Amino acid sequence: MFEDYKVFKTDLAGRPLVIETGKMAQLASGSVLVRYGETAVLCAATMSDKPRDGIDFFPMSVDFEEKLYSVGRIPGSFTRREGRPTEKAILASRLIDRPMRPLFPKDMRNDVSIVCTVMSVDPDCSPEIAGMIGASCAVAISPIPWDGPIAGCSVGLVDGEIVINPTAEQAAKSKMEVTVASTADLVAMIEAGADQVSDEDMFNGIMKGHEINQKTVEFINSIVAEIGKPKIDFPSNDPSPELFEAVKAYAIDDVRAAMDTDDKRIRDERLKPVYEAVHEKFDEEFPEEAEKIDDCMYKLQKFVVRRWLLDDNKRVDGRGIDEIRPLAAEVGLLPRVHGSGLFTRGQTQVLTIATLGQVRDAQILDGIDDEESKRYMHHYNFPSYSVGETRPSRGPGRREIGHGALAERALLPVIPSEDEFPYSFRLVSEVLSSNGSTSQGSVCGSTLALMDAGVPIKAPVAGISCGLVTEGDRFMTMVDIQGVEDFFGDMDFKVAGTHTGITAIQMDLKIHGLTPEIIKEALEKTHKARLYILDEIMLKAIPAPRAELSKYAPKMLTTRIDVDKIREVIGSGGKVIQKICADCDCKIDVEEDGRVFISAIDIENAKRALMIVETIAMDPEIGAIYKGKVTRLMSFGAFVEIAPGKEGLVHISQLDVKRVEKVEDVVQVGDEVIVKVTEIDDQGRLNLSRRDALIEVEGAVPENGDASQGRRSPRPFNGSRPRR
């Protein structure tokens, strides 16, 4: 039945890599089923027969579809179907898109769709890597024009050793997680998260990944040689050389004059009359290509910028090649939020707001990996006004999700652990103005916001980008690229890190790939730049995290109780814990392992709730002092509740340091008093003494008693926990 069915096998990082063709999705232009270990991903590529009209870009889409059946789960949604792509699925789509897109013809306008459907997941064999290899193979064997293939792998650093495609156990211990994609001879994409690793370790990891990828590319090429289809022709969308040369000769001086400024607004205003003049001149002269005149103007601006850089070492805004735009940093701009930081680099400006929440505010995840929640969330917003445009807000797109994830990855290594700082975090980076590298601006603004919020981060993080222009064997890099250098250049190499090392990398290319020399130079330049930003700008705005949290932020206390006591703390139907929350104006989370998180805006309320929880969980001890509430009055004394369900008697003789005639003369129902446990009888009943507590805590002197009785060094009682 499946006459064209073929199976191709190789080995990748000690695990079998199998590519099957000719059985599934045969109506697609090209399709393969990739098996890596027990991971299985179906990859299908399809191209439309005709180009799409009225567009000036190559319309390719990559979809990485996570199916929860692949890990034996039923979706948690109401409909029990997979819904919108998860954030990780979107990031995986971008991961596959970025190394593949530059290898398609830039003048092609036929729609290309690549779909990677995850059907089975082996935790030790990354479905993202399998999807990247499968997408590359599917396009390579299809008739779709493409200058591939590419291959990818993951690189870890475990106990100082580089590991390719680390297993789940190795990944948990790895100091870096780097995805490297390569063509037959160049590095095509780098995506990295790392725990402050050195430039040298990062470079060595990238090169090792590149070495492994070249073998996988050879494997894919062997498949193409056996079953690949001839590539089809397509109608080019490029303007004719005659039109471009005519526009160039007519407008090049005006374009140079218009672009020679450091202000994006001035540049745009200067270019408007040039566009109008060019259209007036050539619309009638080239009527069949009138719609491509704007393409010629784009190419002309690109020509000017690249010639300035390559021939004159001149940047559009007049800066030196390694000079950073003017910088500014501020904190504490918004009084009611928990932390805020404004970072400005030239005309790029990002305001990040930090919000602290309870541990239970962590985001619940419903994906195909083992991660069920995350307590650090970073969101990035890019409104139209940031680039002087008008368009309605439709929620975050893939770019916004990707940039937020990049900033999150850059800061995650310095976020304190839950035990050190029991909070969840949400950071929101609002791009107020954009002229290049807003993602790295959000890294800097987020560090400022976290420090302003009083989060004890391990080290401040700064981010910077490096650009590239190539011509044949010539290349030059420049630090801190602005918008036009990103649009017309060949690379946006973003690096974030601390004084100690790199925490994140993302590399976007418009060319086929990079040589080791370019990568090493980019790492060196971004290293120097981020240290300058940290020392000269950010740490002068706020040298260390604030010692105290905002008065509007929840104050968090934690304790750990015996799991057998959880039921007592919660109470029947939650009555006990609900009463504690109501009485102390707080929120309490009790985890299955016995950890208890208590949050309140007023720290004294949190301390009081903590005392009650520990009293319930730890059982009163003789000699311990508590703050309790009077519940009943009797002729012979008062009953005081020191915790829900734990009540004791204060005999009338123990109510005060002086003689008491009537109980009502000293206390009333509802009064809060401090008491000391003096006896616990065989039935667990408590005998309490207010008299002894006053003597010990407040140094009170008993009436007609020896003053030395009140001279014990009092240990001030703060109501936070039982005295031992």
Q: Which of 224-228, 306-310, 610-614 is the least confident region?
A: 610-614
- Cα-Cα-Cα-Cα dihedral sign, residues 90, 94, 95, 97: positive
**6-168+196-227 and 620-724, same CATH topology:** no
Q: Measure Cα distances from 554 to 14, 364, 557, 598 in Å.
A: 49, 21, 10, 9
Q: Assign 414 a pLDDT band (cuts: 50, 70, 90).
A: very high
Residue 341 reports pLDDT greater than 70: yes
Q: Which of 18-32, 70-84, 667-681 is the least confident region?
A: 70-84
73: CB partners within 8 A, 6+ apart: 366
Average pLDDT, the chain: 92
b/e burial code for range 515-532 (CB count within 10 A of at least 16 → b): eeebbbbbbebbbebbee
Q: Which token pair is 43?
A: 């990859």
May I ask the CATH class of domain 620-724?
mainly beta
Q: Which token pair is 181?
A: 């994609």
Q: Where are the alpha helices (DSSP H) in 585-629?
A: 603-618
Residue 585 reports pLDDT greater than 90: yes
Residue 372: what pLDDT?
A: 79
Share of the chain above pLDDT 90, in %: 78
Residue 316 reports pLDDT greater than 80: yes
Instruction: Render pLDDT for 588-615 as a digit per residue (tens, 0 to 9).
Output: 999 888 999 999 999 999 998 998 898 8
Higher model confidence: residue 92 or residue 682?
A: 92
> What is the mean predicted confidence (pLDDT) over 214-220?
98
> What is the mean predicted confidence (pLDDT) over 452-475?
96
Bridge-based pairing of strands 424-433 and 376-381 is parallel
Cα–Cα dist 505/496, whole Å: 6
Higher model confidence: residue 713 or residue 434?
A: 434
Cα–Cα dist 98/62, whole Å: 10
CATH of 327-541, one of 3.40.50.880, 3.30.310.220, 3.40.50.11260, 3.30.230.70: 3.30.230.70
Give the range with max mean pLDDT: 442-451, 566-575, 624-633.
Answer: 442-451
Residue 568: what pLDDT?
A: 87
Q: Which token pair is 574?
A: 């939650």
Domain range annotation of the chain? 6-168+196-227, 249-312, 327-541, 554-618, 620-724
Instruction: Render pLDDT for 130-178 as a digit per residue (tens, 0 to 9).
Output: 999 999 999 999 999 999 999 999 999 999 999 999 999 999 999 999 9
Cα–Cα dist 31/68, whole Å: 22
Residue 724 reports pLDDT greater than 50: no
Residue 359: what pLDDT?
A: 84
Cα–Cα dist 684/204, whole Å: 66
Q: What is the 3-state secondary structure (H, E, C) of 103-144?
A: HCCCCCCEEEEEEEEEEECECCECHHHHHHHHHHHHHHHCCC
Q: Measure Cα distances from 613 to 376, 390, 589, 605, 618 in Å.
A: 27, 54, 11, 12, 8
CA angle 644, 586, 423 (to 5 degrees): 125
Residue 720: what pLDDT?
A: 38
Share of the chain above pLDDT 70, in %: 97
Q: Measure Cα distances from 681 to 685, 686, 691, 723 in Å.
A: 5, 7, 20, 20
Cβ atoms within 10 A of the Cβ of 413, count? Answer: 25
Instruction: Render pLDDT for 500-525 as a digit per residue (tens, 0 to 9).
Output: 999 999 999 999 999 999 999 999 99
Q: Which token pair is 717?
A: 């009682």
Cα–Cα dist 576/644, whole Å: 6
Instruction: Render pLDDT for 667-723 as a digit per residue (tens, 0 to 9).
Output: 999 999 999 999 998 888 899 999 999 988 887 777 765 444 443 333 333 343 443
CATH of 6-168+196-227, one of 3.30.230.70, 3.30.70.2190, 3.40.50.300, 3.20.10.10: 3.30.230.70
> What is the mean predicted confidence (pLDDT) over 613-642?
89
The phi and psi torsions of 634 (rounded to 5 degrees) equal: -125, 165
Q: Is residue 85 reached through a cis peptide bond, with omega within 30 degrees of 0 on the bond before it?
A: no
Q: Which CATH superfamily is domain 554-618 in?
A: K Homology domain, type 1 (3.30.1370.10)
pTM for the full predicted model: 0.85
Cα–Cα dist 94/377, whole Å: 19
Residue 716: what pLDDT?
A: 33
Cα–Cα dist 194/161, whole Å: 14
Cα–Cα dist 518/490, whole Å: 12
